[in-house]
Amino acid sequence: MENLKKFYIGGEWVEPISTATMPVMNPATEQQIGTVAMGNQADVDRAVAAAKAAFESFSQTSKAERLALLDRLMEATKARFEDLAQAMSAEMGAPITMSREAQADAAIGHLQGFIDALQEIKQRETLSNGDTLLREPIGVCGLITPWNWPMNQIALKVVPALATGCTCVLKPSEHTPISAMIYAEIIDAAGYPAGVFNLVQGDGVSVGSAMSRHADIQMMSFTGSTRAGSAITKDAADTVKRVTLELGGKSPNLVFADCDLEERVAGSVQEVMYNTGQSCDAPTRLLVERSVYDQVLDIAKRTAESIQVGNPAEEGDHIGPLFDRIQYDRVQEKIQTGIDEGARLLTGGLGKPEGFDTGWFCKPTIFADVHNAMAIAQEEIFGPVLVVIPFDSEEDAIEIANDTPYGLAAYLQTGNPERAERVAARLRAGAVHINGGGFNYGSPFGGYKQSGNGREGGHMGLEDYLEVKTLHFG
Ligand code: NAD
């Protein structure tokens, strides 16, 4: 934890220029578990200068050299796997079993996806007109990540930067600095040249904004709220940076009467509550064919009530607390909004579950009889809260599904394969999960509309970090 009060710049753990700090809290115990240094513009300048200097030589490395470094990164990541899992469990409340199986696993899964993609990607090709096309690293990249899937987001940004020959400055969420610090130690252990990867901790307003405005950063990759994504885009406009954004979601889940209701509805409810509802692509709007509406409500209620809330330090498939008091208050406010709007509270509701006075625990909650125009159907809640909306026809379902500013993911439950294809083609979302199909490492991830632009992971995730140069030979 020594390095939490330092930044990793130019291949060393250095004393910050800023003297500001912030406590790091465990959301289950409400106890302070560390103190993180909070950087400023001068810290950013120093990190960017190190990344700019390192770009000169790192951008000229061969694919084989970078693949060898990624193999070392894989070894170093595996060696610190348990530390990553424990850190995320303590700093954002992910139950330890899930923290290992999903949160920490993402560091390895995405890395493998990028190794495979880098092996396949053509960095030089000849066009049919005889010209030569080169794909080159874009430059110094500014990477900003959120707290809800800390390692997933860091791996999705840092690994493609390193894989393509870019250099980078990472600013993780100020709420999850421990896992980011460990990841910097992992990169150091892998033997990356000094300045290729740099870590500055801090908040969005000072460190994040200084990065977005920095003249020597050529690209910003951001994951977080639509609000911050919009602010970064504006900050980056004066220096005409490339900006890729992975933002919020309010993903629809269309349940047709012809699916295996018991299995698919239970699976859907569990997916909403997973990570205590703090996933950008969670299927938070359950759209249900009216003929099976009551049956679905019954299954959904039973499923939500069977979900255990528990201590994240203990093994098991329970859900943990929300990541912080801020999030607990936001979720309570949204539940109150649902009640005020006249939605029917099917299960859960305001307050903490019985026996949980300490910690930011929240009840798995379902609202029925919701209209898509209600705030709880339009706004991201980012907690274990599901809204259920009936529909009358396939056309009606598609219209409700697309009636949102977001377009990150959509989910579809049907026993009819032709309908699955037909409906999936009309859903305005970056991914459609059919009958429980899950995400695979190496596939692109990203959204339509206000859920962002660009795609992370695998081939497309590498392309975001590459510039294209054409050689015209005389
Ligand atoms: P947030 O936008 O508040 O913060 C995310 C990051 O941005 C943090 O590091 C924060 O310090 C930084 N930041 C905040 N304001 C900034 C600014 N003006 N300039 C630069 N940086 C700034 O989001 P959060 O609360 O940490 O995360 C939750 C949000 O992230 C949700 O909206 C969720 O949907 C979204 N998310 C999206 C994806 C995706 O891939 N689409 C994945 C995970 C989370």
Question: Please, which contacts does 264-268 make with residues 24 or more away whose CB atoms are closer than 8 Å?
Answer: 264/413, 264/435, 264/436, 265/296, 265/299, 265/300, 265/303, 265/413, 266/299, 266/302, 266/303, 267/436, 268/300, 268/411, 268/413
For atom 34 of ligand 1, the residue with the nearest CA is 248
Q: How large is the angle between the packed helices 394-402 and 417-426, nearest 10 degrees?
A: 40
Distance from C-alpha of 359 to C-alpha of 365, rounded to nearest angstrom: 18
Of 306, 251, 316, nearest to 284 by C-alpha is: 251
By most ligand atoms within 8 Å of CB, the mutation choice from 144, 221, 245, 331 for ligand 1 is 144
Exposure of 88 in the CB half-sphere (CA atoms within 13 A)? 32
Which residue is catalytic, options 166, 168, 259, 280?
Answer: 280
**Is pLDDT larger for residue 320 or for residue 2?**
320
For atom 39 of ligand 1, the residue with the nearest CA is 246
Tell me the mean pLDDT in the region 344-355. 97
Question: How many H-runs (helices) and E-runs (strands) does the chain carry?
Answer: 16, 20
Q: Does the C-beta of 278 come closer than 6 Å to ligand 1?
A: no
Of 349, 356, 261, nearest to 308 by C-alpha is: 356
Helix H or strand E encompassing 368: strand 365-368
Mean pLDDT of the chain: 97
Could you report the per-residue pLDDT of 173-201, keeping only the tens digit for each?
999 999 999 999 999 999 999 999 999 99
Exposure of 434 in the CB half-sphere (CA atoms within 13 A)? 13
Which ligand 1 atom sits closest to the C-alpha of 451? 41
Which ligand 1 atom sits closest to the C-alpha of 408? 41
Residue count (the chain): 474
Question: Do the beta carbons of residue 142 and residue 52 sit within 8 Å?
Answer: no
pLDDT for residue 124 is more than 90: yes
Helix H or strand E encompassing 7: strand 7-9
Question: Do the beta carbons of residue 69 and residue 250 sit within 8 Å?
Answer: no
> 3-class DSSP state for residue 417?
helix
Could you report the per-residue pLDDT of 364-392, keeping only the tens digit for each?
999 999 999 999 999 999 999 999 999 99
Distance from C-alpha of 209 to C-alpha of 234, rounded to nearest angstrom: 10
Q: In the chain, pLDDT over 90 holds for what percent of residues?
A: 99
Q: Does the C-beta of 249 come closer than 6 Å to ligand 1?
A: yes
Largest Cα–Cα distance in the chain? 77
Q: Identify whether 141 is a catalytic site residue.
A: no
Which residue is catalytic, options 91, 174, 246, 380?
Answer: 246
For atom 11 of ligand 1, the residue with the nearest CA is 204
Helix H or strand E encompassing 459: helix 458-463
pLDDT for res 387: 98
Distance 245 CA to ligand 1 centre (A): 10
Q: Does the C-beta of 206 come closer than 6 Å to ligand 1?
A: no
By most ligand atoms within 8 Å of CB, the mutation choice from 169, 173, 327 for ligand 1 is 173
Could you report the per-residue pLDDT of 151-181, keeping only the tens digit for each?
999 999 999 999 999 999 999 999 999 999 9
Q: Does the C-beta of 150 come closer than 6 Å to ligand 1?
A: no
pLDDT for residue 85 is more than 90: yes
Which ligand 1 atom sits closest to the C-alpha of 156? 40
For atom 10 of ligand 1, the residue with the nearest CA is 204
Distance 290 CA to ligand 1 centre (A): 36
pLDDT for residue 359 is more than 90: yes
Q: Does the C-beta of 327 come closer than 6 Å to ligand 1?
A: no
pLDDT for res 278: 97
Residue 205 burial (10 A CB sphere; 0-12, 13-18, 19+): exposed
Listed in sequence order, the DSSP H helices in 61-196 are 63-79, 81-92, 96-98, 105-120, 150-164, 177-190
Question: Do the beta carbons of residue 353 and residue 307 sit within 8 Å?
Answer: no
Q: Does the C-beta of 408 come closer than 6 Å to ligand 1?
A: yes
For atom 22 of ligand 1, the residue with the nearest CA is 204
- b/e 121-148 (16+ beta carbons within 10 angstroms → b): beeeeeeeeeeeeebbbbbbbbbbbbbb
Indicate the DSSP class of residue 384. S
For atom 23 of ligand 1, the residue with the nearest CA is 224
Q: Does the C-beta of 251 come closer than 6 Å to ligand 1?
A: no
For atom 28 of ligand 1, the residue with the nearest CA is 224
Residue 22: alpha-carbon gap to chain centroid: 23
Is the sign of the CA dihedral 224, 229, 231, 236 positive or negative? positive
Distance 147 CA to ligand 1 centre (A): 8
> 3-class DSSP state for residue 424?
helix
Q: In the chain, pLDDT over 70 holds for what percent of residues?
A: 100
- Give 248's contacts (C-beta < 8 A, 6+ positions apart): 225, 226, 280, 380, 406, 408, 450, 451
pLDDT for res 1: 84
In this prediction, residue 410 has a pLDDT band, given cuts at 50, 70 and 90, of: very high
Residue type for position 23: P
pLDDT for residue 357 is more than 90: yes
> 3-class DSSP state for residue 222?
strand
pLDDT for residue 258 is more than 90: yes
Tell me the mean pLDDT in the region 63-91. 98
